[in-house]
Structures are given as C-alpha cells and as structure tokens.
Structure 1
Amino acid sequence: LWHREWSLAEQMWFYFRQETLPVLVPWLALRAVADGVAAFAAVKGMGPLAQWSEIGVSVLFFFALLYLFPLWIALTLGAIPLEPGALRGRIERLIDRTAARFRNVLLWRTGGARVLNAAVVGVVPATRFCILSDTLLETLPPDETEAVVAHELGHVIGRHLPVYLAFVFLFMGISVAIFAAVPADLAENYLFSLPVLAVLTLVFWPGIFGMVNRVMEDEADLYSAELVGDPEPLIRALSRMAASVGSGRASGSWRHRNVDERVGRVRTLAANPRAAALFHKRVRVLRWSVALAAAAAVILSVHVSLPAVWTRDAGLELARAAAEGDTENPDAWTLYGKVLIRRGMVFEAEKAFLQALEADPGRRDVRDFLRAMPGAKGATLARMAEIFISAGWFDDAHRIAADLRSSGDTASALLVEAELALTPGSRAIPNPYHDPASAERLSREFLAAGRSVKAYAILVRSLACQGRLPDASEALAEARRHFPDDVSLRKLADTLYNRN
C-alpha cells in the first residue's frame, strides 16, 4: 500500500528504486564488463581465446558482485544501522545463539510506504545484512519481530542462499546447453532465441525455482519456531502482516505459500520433533540435489559447447584452405572473412575482406563488411581506396577520401587524395582527378605535419611526372635520410636513376 499523499511519479520512483535499480545496475555492470572484454579481445585479434576470456572475466566479476551486492542493496534501499536499544539487543542475542554471522542489522526506511518486510542479503558473512523495514517494526511487537528475524536467520542456517546461487548457475548452464546444441545461425536469430528464453524463464523460475523456494520458506518458518521455542509469535506476525497490507490469509505467491498453509505446516512440524527432523533431512537432500544439478548443467554446457568450438575451428581451417587455394576467388576470401569474424579474429578478417575486395572491387557486401569493422577508419579505408585506384574505381576512392575528411582523419585523406591525383588512369578508364601538381601539394601538406614513406614516394613521383627531376632527386634524398633501410625507396631511386 502506497503512502496516500504520494503522486504517481513518487510511487513509480519508489518502485523503481526499491525493486528494479538494485538488480538493474549490477546486471548492466556485468554486461558492460563482458562486452568490454569481448571488444578488447576482438580488437586485439585474440581469436578463439576471445570467447573464453569473456566467460572467465565475467565469472570473476560475478563473484566480485556477490561480495559487493549487499552493500549496493543497502545503499539503494536507504538502509541505516538499527539504533541501539532493547529491540536491537534482543535481535543480536538471537543471532549470537546461532552460527550465522552478519555485518550489521539495518533499518530500511521506506518513506511512508507500507512495506512490511524483512530480508537477509549476502552470501559472504563480511557483507551480509539483516534488513528490517520501518513499517514492520512499527506494526509488530518485539516478540513477533524476533520471530520474523529468526525466520530470516533460518535461511542462513539452512544454507538457502547458496541454493539460490546454484539456481542461477543451473539456469545459465541449461540456457547455454540449449543454445549450443542448435545451429549457430538459429541460436543467433532473435525470432528463435527470445521466445525460447522466455519460455525457459517462465518454466524455470516461477515453476521449478518457485516450488523449491516454497520448501525453503517452510524450513525457515520451522527454524523460527525452533529458535524462539514457540511457533505462535511467527504465526501472529504472519497474520498481522497479512491483515495490515490487506492481502488476506488465503493469498500467496509463486515464492510463498499463503498464510493459512504456512501456519498449518509450521504448527504441525513444531509439534512433532521427529517429523521436523525428517523435514530438515529432506531439505538437505533437496539442497544437494540442486547443487549437483547445477554442477551437471555447467558441465553439460561446457561439453556441448566444446564440439561447437571445435567445429568452428574446423570450419576456419576449411575456409582458409579454400581462400589460399584460389587467391583470385572473392567468394572464398569473403567466406573466410566471415568465419574469422565469428571467431573474433578481427584483424585477420579485415585482411581477408581486403583480399576479396582486391579480387573484385565491385563487391558491395565486402565494402559493407569493411566499413562495419571495429575501428574501420584510417588504414583500412585507405587500403580500400588503394584497391579502388588500382582497379580504376576513381570515384569510389574519392568518396573514401571525403569520408576520411568528414571523420576527422585528415592525414589518411591527404594520402588517398595525393595518390588519386598522381594516378593517370588509362584511355579506357580515364582518371578525372589526375593532377600531378595537386599530388605534390597534398603530399607536401602531409609531410609538413609528419613523415611517411608513402607520402615521400608520392612526392617524388609527382615531381618526376612534372619533369622536375632535380627536385625529385632532392626529395628522394631527404626521404632516404629519414628511412635509410626502406626497400621501396631503393627501388624508387633505381627507377629515377634509369629515368635520368
């Protein structure tokens, strides 16, 4: 029940801050780390290691979140340490009678919303909190509050929190196994993957997890009766809480039974120690069953995924053999590039696509692949322009130069424009941009800001084309002073000498 003076916006913000934000931010952080590692591995050309690096770092970050998550929950709920007093002393004495360890007992300030709730958050004792809402403390007398805290302690004593964690791994293992068992193209198709994931989520969490969670809640109720020594305080607390929020005793949820069922079960078990001991034993078996199922699901997912990885490796080798066996076949190089992309080998894929473009400069799909490559600026686009110039696709090279300038890569644009201006074309395919004087000007403009062998080569050739051989020789001498071991400059010197 909301505070009657709250506006709709205030109610929505409360719901978002209390229910969504605590889970949304850690999930986004986990996805950001995973995607960041995947992007880094792809850019570094780690290939097959990219996927395993993403998984490994994600798992490590997940366990780090387990440690930090309770701190984040306390922050988003606005929880503060419960003030010293009779109630806190009573709760601390109750905790001391158990093997459970907590960082602190916190008061959840709800700001007027009638949220009657208590919770234990944290798998690691160093960051584990017992949280009680202010409305709960205002509604329940001390003995009933103690019974509710004992219920939450029951989740720790019964090792329910690791079971919840095991369910996460069980769900992940089943999901990975399902999607690894189907063809990759089908698994990556959202029209298939999203409905399958939605059905799996509905069956797994409200169905399987909900059933197990209700048993865990029954055991926590029993632990409360055993710790307090009487089930009646918890029974009165459950009845009072149901009446206070107006949900009714017969109203339950997918995670909790209704009040009448819980009252009947805890009374029956508390009155029969032998039945209670047998129930605890059955829950222990259930816990181990979930843990073993989670381990089996993870092992199964790895077992199913590895053949897919090996198959992709075999496909990579076949694609490489096809491309290298027919170097003039653009289809083979394009297929090889696609396989490399799927393996996260970005740099190698770029080379394959450039080879395909060199074999057939008219391949629009290859051009699109190259433009979509991570970091497909500068060197990649300049190499595309070189291929277009060699093939006589002068307008395409000119458009690439314009794209480079618009993206702020003036240096690469200058080299493309200079080479385009230097290339004469042919009678069949004339070059409308041919202008050796412009090539000289553009190469000098580049060299004014930096040095490169290619810029010097264009300058020397443009001067030679204009008949200014002494100037060309002087520019070549300057280039060889800066790059004395460059083989291409030696060949250019031989050509210029023969021309002289």
Structure 2
Amino acid sequence: MFGNFIYFIIVLLIYSTYQPSEDTNFTALETLFLFILLTIIFAVITWLQFQRIEKQVSKESFAKLDHKFHAALTRQSVMAIVLFSLDIYGLNLVSFVSNIPFLSIIPTLQALLFLGLFVFYLAIVWAFAHSPYNALYATGLPRESYILSNISFSVPVLLPWLLLSGIADIINVLPFKLPKQMLATTEGQVLYFLVFLVAVAMIGPLMIQKFWRCKPLEAGDVRTRIENVCRQAGMEYANILYWPIFGGRMITAGVMGLVKKFRYILVTGAFIRFLEPDEIDAVIAHEVGHIKKNHLLFYLVFFVGYMLVSYATFDLLIYGVLYAEPLYGFIGRIGMNQTTLTSSIFSIVTIVIFLVYFRFIFGYFMRNFERQADTYVYTLFDSAKPLISTLEKIAVTSGQPPDRPNWHHFSITKRIDYLKKCETDKSWIGRHDWKIKKSMAVYMTGIILIGAVGYQLNYSETGKQLNQHFFETVIKRELEKTPDNADLYSTLGDIYYSRQNYAQTIEAYEQSIMLEPHNPKALNNLAWLLATCEDQNFRRPRRALGLAQKAAELEKAPHILDTLAESYYVNGKFEAAVATAMRALDLVTGDRSYYRKQLKKFMDSTLKTRTTA
C-alpha cells in the first residue's frame, strides 16, 4: 500500500518537471487516437496478467501465486507510470490543455486533471486485480470497495501538495503585491513551504480522517483498554476512530498527529474482532511508541531534508544539463525536441533522487522506527509476547508470507525474531535505541553538509561566479545559433558588467546597439557605464550623454531618466540634471529613496556652482 504513495509522488514529479513545447509531436486528432489506443492496450495487457494468475489459483502453491500477484500489481502500476509519461512527453497532452483559460489561471486545476488521469490508470489495475485478490486471500471484499480503499488510502499523500499549490495559485490571482513578491523569491518560497509543512503536519490528520470517513469508536471494553494504555503512557489524543480501510478486514492500527488536539488513534474492525485484550494493549503500546519516540516529528524533519537535498542538487542538475549539450546535437539529428529532452532529463534525475532518498534513506529509518515502536512495548509491559502473537495472526489472516521483504517495515519474521531476542536479553532494546541515535546523527550531519553546499551554490561568491559562468555559457551557445540577436548581446553585457569586465561589457553593448540601434536598454546601460565607471579609463561623458538622450527619447522610464540626469551631471550640466531627476522622481511608483538621493546630489552641485559664481 505504501508503494502507492511513491507512485503518486513520482507522477507528480513527472508532471511538474515537464515544460510544454510549442510544437507537438502529433495533431490533436492523432493524439486522441493514440491516447485511446494506448489506454486500451494497457487495459488488455493488465486484464491478461491477472486472468492468468486467477486461473492458476488451484494449480500452484499459495506462496508462488502470492509472489506472482504482487509482482503483477507492481509491474502494472509501474506500467501506469510509463503510460502517464508517454501521455506527457510523447503525446504532449499538457500542451493541448494548457491554453484553456481557467486552467492557465489556476495551474493546480490542470495538475489535478492529469493526476486524475493517473488515478484512472491505477483504477484499471485494481479493477482487474480484484478477482485474483479475492480468490487468493478470500477477503470477500467487493470490487468497488477494493478500488476505493486503494484510492482513499493513497490520495491523502497529495493533500499537502494540493493545499500548498492551490493557496499559491490563489495568492497569485488576488490583487495583493506583497504576497506575490514574497513567493517570487527563493527565500519566500522556502519560508512559505516550511510554514505550510508545519501547519499541514499539525492539522492534516483532521482532514485525512474526514477523507477516510473514519467514525468514533463506541464506548466499551475495547475503547476502555485503549484509553487505559494511553493514560498509562501519558499520551493525549483527540479521539479513537474506526479505520475503514479495505472494509476494515485488515488487522491493523495506526496513530497520526503531532499535537494532541489533532491526534487520532485508528483501529480496524478486524483489529477488534480477532485480537485478544492483551494483544490490543500491545498493539496500542506500539502506536504510542511512535509518539513517545518522536517518530512523527522525525518524519517531518526528513521531508525538510528532502527539500534541502532537492535545493542543493538543483543547480548541479542545471549545470549537468548544460554540459550535456553535445548529447543534444545527437538527439536533434534523430528528431527529438530539445525542450522535451531537457524536461525528460530533469524528470529522470529528479525521480532518481526522490527514489534513492525515500526508498533507501527514509525507508531505512521507517523500518528501524517500527522496530523501536515494537520494543517500546517493554516500557509499559513486562513482555512482548502478545505483540508477537499479534504479528503471527497478521501473517495468517493476511495470507502473505511472513518473510516477505518490505521497504518500510521489516518482515514479520524479522520483527518476531527481534522481539524474541529482547525477551531473552533486554539489552537489545537499548542497542536498537543507540543505533537510531547514531543513524540520526549521521543523517543530520549529512543534511547540514548538503545544506552548506546548497548555500554555497546559491549565495556565496563562488556560487555567484558559477551562475554567471553558467549564464554566459548559455548565452554564447545561443548566439552561435542566432548571431543577430541584440537582446542576447545586451544580456551578455550585463553579465560582464557584474564581473567588472568593462572592456567586454562595452563591446557587448556596442554589438547590441549595432544590431538594434533603437534598443533603449542597451543604450541606457552603455550610457550609465560610460558616465559612472569606477575605472576612469573607460569614462566617456559626452558619448554617455548622447546615448542617454537617445534612450530617453525611446522610453520615458525612471531608471532611463536617472541615467540621463547622471550624464548631464558628469558633463557639468547641473540644472538639466536636476530637471531630469525631478521628472524621474515623478514617474517612480515604488521606493523613491534612491531617486530623492540622486536629486539632492544634483541640487547640491547646482547650489555650489551658484555660490562659486
């Protein structure tokens, strides 16, 4: 089930890293035909896969059929991701719907549309998997309940993204400048993400339990036992709820919520029916262990850690894509669109980073946190034998091999073996706690180092130089393709100016002006350099004034008039500088402090001239 979380996040990454291309691979009619054809082929292959397994139910051993069923389920779920990728990158479906007005205004709606498409593909898988599932495990679960349980269990993983993205869309639509300006900066985005992550982690369980249609557990012996265990452990909570996942037929329980006001204990109907009173106590003690050992808080830390990893590797990924330019030439010869190729590389690398982080790092801690929650039983009770018997019941009733490996839990066999070791030697409890402390120390050290790398790449002088080199390389490569592009030369001049390479700056601006004589940006920037350059050897006051006058004729903008005023000033025409500075100040709509300072400088020089005269 937890694998579905991974599938949904991968699909979200595939969608979010795709950059729509202006040119599509097929016409709208061809795309529709291929979309329907691929969907039918996928459905037929999925049906054949599970039909074959169902026919073998009475012919092969349970263990072998169980392996085949889960292998087919995983294989077809992955194929659903592949089909979704073909829809995005091969059929360019996003390009066909991105121009729809209401979808372009609120991009989250468009994303939901495509996520709904993936849910449709998975629903096909679950629909055909239902018959062999029932034949193998004799659950008696209706097809509709099986499909809806899979969907309802998986979709909440997208709720944080949905709220995060949806609120950002609303902020961008509303006529308020400050929130938009904050979201336009890296710092603002990080702050927004962190605040939102904490808020969702706190109140998210309230929304999730409503989405799962959980109902309060009625008063009685079971509820009283659960309340007593929580009281003994000193754990507070909002409510104890029925968890209707898969019709309540699974023996399982759970806990969610960082704060007591939004903390819920979840139990299924099978949990109540099949477990003995001391087994119920043991399972609830396990769930209490997750809270007492701060596992939910650590999960929040891991998500922040992933954000740091993604942030730190983003620039490295961009550099990698840049220096893969020779590959573009080869791909171009076989007819693949470069925008699509770049998006594909971003998607693949992003997904690989995500899988490595969550499958191996996050998965490692999940498995060990579950073991630590198992051993927490000894904090409240003398023995974990009731928990061992519960695990044995789960193995029998689920019909799944107890030694099956799992990326987020140790196998039932391994969990039982470890508890038996603790039964004979309690020192194994402390050893595991120490293992987790050491692992967390290593993890935090690694995250701090990665965060430092990210900071260096984005905010240090080295990072700025790397970024400048990156943009210079990109612009020069584009100039090789379009040597008559005046805007590219102007931008190249800006880069050289930031490095104080004044000779190259002048050369780039001059080239831009030669290609486009009426380019106010290049005229203005060159005028400013020639008027104010800190290296006196590059100052040309008269040329600066001529360029600034021409730029001001083309565009009446505050910064252009400021350059003209400065040019008058360096040529000794102080009154003209004052008059022009006043015009610039009148046009300013934002912060006026710089322009007031400029005007004061010019007025002071005018007064000095008059006094001297």
Category of TM-score, reference length = shorter chain: 0.5 to 0.7
Find out whether 1:61 has 2:196 as its counterpart.
yes
Match among 128, 140, 160 for residue 4 of structure 1: 140
Asked if structure 2 preserves the Cα contact closer than 8 Å seen for 1:155 and 1:216, the reply is yes
Instruction: Say whether 1:290 aligns with 2:443.
Output: yes
Extract unaligned runs of 5+ from structure 2: 1-132, 323-338, 473-482, 495-511, 519-613
Q: Cα offset for 1:315?
A: 8.6
**Rg: which structure is higher?**
1
Pairing 1:261–2:414 present? yes
- Match of residue 223, structure 1, among 376, 385, 396: 376
Aligned to 2:113: none
**AA partner of residue 140 (structure 2):** R
Residue 11 of structure 1: CA displacement? 2.5
How many residue pairs were aligned?
A: 340
| 1:346-377, Cα deviation, whole Å (9 max, x unpaired) | xxxxxxxxx99x9599xxxxxxxxxxxxxxxx
Identify which of 398, 401, 404 aligns with 1:248: 401
Secondary structure of 2:140's aligned partner: coil
Match of 1:333 among 487, 499, 505: 487
Q: What SS is found at the alignment partner of 1:230? A: coil
**1:334 & 1:216 partners in 2: Cα distance?**
54
Matching of residues 305-454 of structure 1 within 5 Å: 305-307=458-460, 310=464, 331-333=485-487, 359=516
Q: Deviations over 1:37-84 (max 9, x none)?
A: 578899889599533322222222222111121111211221122212
Residue equivalent to 1:300: 453
SS of aligned partner of 1:131 = strand
**What TM-score does the superposition give when structure 2 sets the normalisation length?**
0.49
Query: Which of 331, 348, 354 matches 1:195?
Result: 348
Aligned to 1:388: none
Q: Is the 8 A contact 2:377 2:384 kept in 1?
A: yes
Deviation, structure 1 residue 261: 1.1
Secondary structure, aligned partner of 1:112:
helix
Describe the superposition over 1:217-270 as per-residue Cα deviations: whole angstroms up to 9, x where unpaired: 111111124323211100000010111010122223111111221111012123
Say which SS state the counterpart of residue 254 (structure 1) adopts.
coil
Taking a change above 3 Å as real, the CA distance of residues 70 and 336 of structure 1, as seen in their structure-2 partners, is farther
Aligned pair 1:123/2:258, yes or no? yes
Residue segments in structure 1 that go unaligned for 5+ positions in a row: 319-328, 341-354, 362-500
Report if aligned partners of 2:216, 2:239 keep a CA contact under 8 Å in 1: yes
Q: 1:173 maps to what in 2?
A: 308
Structure 1 residue 337 displacement after superposition = 7.6
Shift in alpha-carbon separation, 1:283–1:298, aligned structure 2, 3 A: same
Q: Is the 8 A contact 2:182 2:188 kept in 1?
A: no
Q: Deviations over 1:264-321 (max 9, x none)?
A: 1012123323332233233233334434444443343233222487459969999xxx
Greater mean alpha carbon deviation, residues 35-44 or residues 45-54 = 35-44
Q: Secondary structure at the match of 2:233?
A: coil
Aligned twin of 1:133: 268
Q: Is the 8 A contact 1:316 1:336 kept in 2?
A: no
2:167 equivalent to 1:13: no
When residues 29 and 90 of structure 1 are mapped into structure 2, their CA distance, relative to the original with a 3 A threshold, is: same
Paired residue for 2:280? 145
1:96 is aligned to 231
Equivalent-residue separation in structure 2 for 1:317 and 1:167 (angstroms) = 33
C-alpha distance in 2 between matches for 1:75 and 1:339: 57
Q: Percent identity?
A: 22
Name the SS for the 1:115 alignment partner: coil
* Structure 1 position 335, deviation (Å): 6.2
Instruction: Give the counterpart letter for 2:269 in structure 1.
Output: D
The alpha-carbon distance between structure 1 residues 263 and 227, as it changes in their structure 2 partners (threshold 3 A), is same
Per the alignment, do residues 220 and 185 of structure 1 end up closer, same or farther by CA in structure 2, a change over 3 Å counting? closer
On the 8 A contact 2:249/2:268 being kept in 1, the answer is no
CA distance in 1 between counterparts of 2:485 and 2:182 reads 22
Equivalent-residue separation in structure 2 for 1:190 and 1:165 (angstroms): 29
- Distance in structure 1 (CA, Å) of the matches to 2:193 and 2:173: 13
Q: Is the 8 A contact 2:239 2:265 kept in 1?
A: yes
Structure 1's 101 and 317: CA in aligned 2 closer, same or farther, altered over 3 A? same
Superposition RMSD on alpha carbons, in Å? 4.1
Within the alignment, does 1:71 sit opposite 2:224 as a pair? no
| Structure 1 residue matching 2:247: 3-state secondary structure | coil
CA distance in 2, matches of 1:333, 1:204: 41
Corresponding residue to 1:27 among 161, 186, 207: 161
Does the CA-based 8 Å contact 2:315-2:457 persist in structure 1?
yes
SS of residue in 2 equivalent to 1:262: helix
Alpha-carbon distance change, 225 to 335 in structure 1, aligned in 2, over 3 angstroms: farther
Cα distance in structure 2, aligned partners of 1:107 and 1:47: 42
Distance 2:248 2:366 in 1: 26
